[in-house]
A = this chain, B = another copy of it.
Amino acid sequence: MNILDHTFEEYLEIVKAFHGSEAPGLIIGGFMVDTAIRNLPEGITYDAVCETRSCLPDAIQLLTPCTVGNGWLKIIPLGRFAIALYDKYNYDGVRVFLDAEKAKAWQEIHAWFFKLKSKEMQKQESVIREIGEAGSGILSIRRVIVRPEVVKKIHKGKVTLCPQCREAYPSDDGKVCLACQGGNPYL
């Protein structure tokens, strides 16, 4: 079963090079992106939503033009294993999710998804083999309209120097930058 233009094995290689490991979630994510794209009207310009921070964003970044850095991929951390691709002009799109009911038929995938086995007991090769066999058979899809206010770009406005740290920041953030307002992540 192919993932867009890639064979399953090619996709595993791409995943490993980018993500560092053949993470099951990212491999299923390949089939999710493939399914979503096949169900979008051809030739539209689409953006992406990812409902979890784990693994799935990388499938979108590897297989679509949408990345975190270009802003076309928006991560909304809801803890659900789902993505949506949608027309960036009218917000009309498709949502693809791992369907727990369908995954029941696949012992290893089911155990992985619900974390029923310890890391030591769960054999990654077995999960990956099942994912390759199951392909899009464990996924469901529905049409969605994305709420524009959730995904719309925030215009950054003017850039100014923070009087405290002397670095540039969006002046809309306040009199000093967010780091100097208490968000500094360093000791």
Interface residue ranges, A against B (CB under 8 Å): 18-21, 23, 26, 49, 51, 53-59, 61, 65, 67-72, 75-82, 84, 91, 95, 97-98, 100-101, 113-115, 144-147, 150-151, 156, 158-162, 165-170, 173, 177-179, 183, 185-187
Contact = CB atoms under 8 A, between A and B. Distances in A.
Number of copies: 2
Contacts of A78: 169, 177-179, 183, 185
Nearest to A25: B69
Contacts of A20: 65, 67, 70, 72
Nearest to A26: B69
Given A114-B168, A159-B114, A186 B69 contact: no
Given A70-B20, A78-B177, A95 B186 contact: yes
A169 to B, nearest CB: 5
A187 B67 contact: no
A147 B69 contact: no
